[in-house]
Amino acid sequence: MTVPQISPPRRILMGPGPSDIHPSVLAALAAPTVGHLDPYFLKVMDEVQSMLREVFQTTNHLTMAISGTGSAGMETCVVNLIEPGDRMVVGVNGVFGGRMAEVAERVGAEVTRIERPFGEVFTPEEVATVVAKVRPKVVGIVHAETSTGARQPLDEIAKIVHDAGALFVVDCVTSLAGIPVEIDKLAIDAAYSGSQKCLGCPPGLAPVTFGPKALEVMDQRKKKVSSWYLDIGLLRNYWGNNRAYHHTAPINMNYALHQALRLVLQEGLQTRFARHQLHHTALKAGLEAMGIRYSVAAETSLPMLNSVLIPDGADDASVRSQLLNEFGIEIGGGLGPMKGKTWRIGLMGETAQKSNVLLFLAALEQCLNRQGIRPAPGAAIVAANALYCSINN
Ligand SMILES: *Cc1c(COP(=O)(O)O)cnc(C)c1O
């Protein structure tokens, strides 16, 4: 059988992840593969770990990249901290909170869900009430709900969880490197992320970090971790000083993450957060000038994931395929109860750029016109441009 060599189209990835990748990160993937115990690779691993600590804003020694996507990071945190019968409280206000609850149930936790409609966030009071009643071992919450575009404030909840003596696990898949993720400041006990959102790397690695209290709990387990592959006790021997073979690390993916992290730190975290915020503000000005509304409140909307209501009369699938086919732009549709109701426009990592915002607004205007929706011609571009010009950027 002869199959032609792959030749993927060049897209602008403005969906919920993966996001655009800097050419130097793609080039790192193509560097020569060495062995997973080669001294050269061990140095790469060490550097990945120390750069991850900076990005997570932590000194946690146990910080590393799990071989797998963001969901593997989620599963790693849950499976190592939970033993069958342990109580866990999970905030469910979107698809990923629901996934965390599901993962916890599968490893035998007694799960209590705190639920909120998609797009809303939790108040410290409601978390306090449930935590006081349930007395959980672990509380899990999603920082940036990519399915809804909502940003969960963490400060007060972190305090409530700790005062109750529970461990705080946070999903930082979409937030890491896009908005501040302050692991040590908030004493978050365990957190996980994914390589393909604001870190700007292809999918395939899940950065995780565990604090001292989480370590203690893992050391005191009565039963072995039910996943061999994700057992932190075993993984520590590979990522730590022992360098004992556990599994073959995806070498080239770690090269890519290494380069992506270098770019994040070269730019600087604060500058990177400000960049995400700037392009979000410009995009928002443009969308609103076209009469498009956000599906989340302004105070809690995420800069890197803009969830907007599909205007009446526009066909979800036709607009998204026109964007893809005519402009090479990918955006996301709604998930779960938001399916067919929202578009999710990502501005993650490399994607958060002026040229993408302006092209997207112009493209969307054309798509809306084809749907018979006629916003004031050019108003979106005018509004976004006005914002860019006003800050002299
Ligand atoms: C993308 C995402 C995940 C899952 O990551 P995968 O890489 O798709 O496995 C989990 N949580 C959030 C908030 C996400 O955005």
Q: Is 189 in the pocket of ligand 1 (CB under 6 A)?
A: no
Q: Is 108 in the pocket of ligand 1 (CB under 6 A)?
A: no
With respect to residue 241, please indicate whether it lies within any of the assigned structural domains. yes
Residues 322 and 306 in one domain: yes
Q: Which of these three, 266, 288, 318, is where a domain ends? A: 266
Residue 145 Cα: closest atom of ligand 1: 13
Count CB neighbours of 255 within 10 A: 23
Q: Which residue has its alpha carbon closest to ligand 1 atom 3?
A: 70
Cα(155) to centroid of ligand 1, in Å?
A: 22
Cα(96) to centroid of ligand 1, in Å?
A: 7
- What's the domain range around 114? 23-266
Q: Is 192 in the pocket of ligand 1 (CB under 6 A)?
A: no
Residues 212 and 321 in one domain: no
Cα(77) to centroid of ligand 1, in Å?
A: 14
State how far the alpha carbon of 213 is from the alpha carbons of 126, 137, 170, 223, 365, in Å.
Answer: 24, 12, 14, 18, 52
Among 93, 152, 174, name the best residue to mutate to test ligand 1's pocket (greatest count of ligand atoms within 8 A of Cβ): 174
Q: Which of these three, 200, 234, 266, is where a domain ends? A: 266
Cα(18) to centroid of ligand 1, in Å?
A: 10
Bridge partners (DSSP) of residue 66 are: 206
Residues 240 and 281 in one domain: no
Q: Count how many domains the chain has.
A: 2
Residues 135 and 40 in one domain: yes
User: Residue 388 has what pLDDT?
Assistant: 97
Crossing angle (nearest 10°) for helices 124-134 and 155-163: 20
Among 69, 102, 121, name the best residue to mutate to test ligand 1's pocket (greatest count of ligand atoms within 8 A of Cβ): 69
State how far the alpha carbon of 59 is from the alpha carbons of 51, 208, 342, in Å.
Answer: 11, 13, 39
Residues 261 and 299 in one domain: no
Q: Is 15 in the pocket of ligand 1 (CB under 6 A)?
A: no
* pLDDT by 10s per residue, the chain, length 393: 999 999 999 999 999 999 999 999 999 999 999 999 999 999 999 999 999 999 999 999 999 999 999 999 999 999 999 999 999 999 999 999 999 999 999 999 999 999 999 999 999 999 999 999 999 999 999 999 999 999 999 999 999 999 999 999 999 999 999 999 999 999 999 999 999 999 999 999 999 999 999 999 999 999 999 999 999 999 998 888 888 889 999 999 999 999 999 999 999 999 999 999 999 999 999 999 999 999 999 999 999 999 999 999 999 999 999 999 999 999 999 999 999 999 999 999 999 999 999 999 999 999 999 999 999 999 999 999 999 999 865
Q: Is 148 in the pocket of ligand 1 (CB under 6 A)?
A: no
Residues 260 and 275 in one domain: no
User: Residue 243 has what pLDDT?
Assistant: 86
Residues 98 and 203 in one domain: yes
d(CA 197, CA 272): 13
Cα(98) to centroid of ligand 1, in Å?
A: 12
Q: Which residue has its alpha carbon closest to ligand 1 atom 8?
A: 70
Q: Is 69 in the pocket of ligand 1 (CB under 6 A)?
A: yes
Q: Is 173 in the pocket of ligand 1 (CB under 6 A)?
A: yes
Q: What is the CA 320 to chain-centroid distance, rounded?
A: 22
d(CA 160, CA 123): 11
With respect to residue 94, please indicate whether it lies within any of the assigned structural domains. yes
Residues 106 and 177 in one domain: yes
Cα(384) to centroid of ligand 1, in Å?
A: 29
Residues 156 and 129 in one domain: yes
With respect to residue 171, please indicate whether it lies within any of the assigned structural domains. yes
Cα(70) to centroid of ligand 1, in Å?
A: 5
DSSP structure string for 74-118: HHHHHHHH--TT-EEEEEESSHHHHHHHHHHHHTT-EEEEEE--T
With respect to residue 16, please indicate whether it lies within any of the assigned structural domains. no
Residue 144 Cα: closest atom of ligand 1: 13
Q: Which residue has its alpha carbon closest to ligand 1 atom 6?
A: 70
Residues 292 and 220 in one domain: no
Residues 253 and 319 in one domain: no
Q: Which of 304, 295, 288 is nearest to 356 (CA)?
A: 304
List Cβ<8 Å contacts ≥24 apart for 218-224: 218/80, 218/81, 221/83, 222/83, 223/83, 223/84
Residue 305 Cα: closest atom of ligand 1: 15
With respect to residue 9, please indicate whether it lies within any of the assigned structural domains. no
DSSP type of residue 328: -
The CATH number covering residue 83 comes to 3.40.640.10
Q: Is 75 in the pocket of ligand 1 (CB under 6 A)?
A: no
Query: Quick one: CA dihedral 221, 222, 228, 234, positive or negative?
Result: positive
Q: Is 68 in the pocket of ligand 1 (CB under 6 A)?
A: no
Among 13, 66, 71, 205, name the best residue to mutate to test ligand 1's pocket (greatest count of ligand atoms within 8 A of Cβ): 71
Residues 296 and 373 in one domain: yes
With respect to residue 10, please indicate whether it lies within any of the assigned structural domains. no
d(CA 307, CA 293): 9
Q: Which of these three, 266, 288, 309, is where a domain ends? A: 266
With respect to residue 139, please indicate whether it lies within any of the assigned structural domains. yes
Q: Which of 357, 337, 345, 358 is nearest to 293 (CA)?
A: 345
The CATH number covering residue 274 comes to 3.90.1150.10
Among 13, 100, 143, 146, name the best residue to mutate to test ligand 1's pocket (greatest count of ligand atoms within 8 A of Cβ): 146
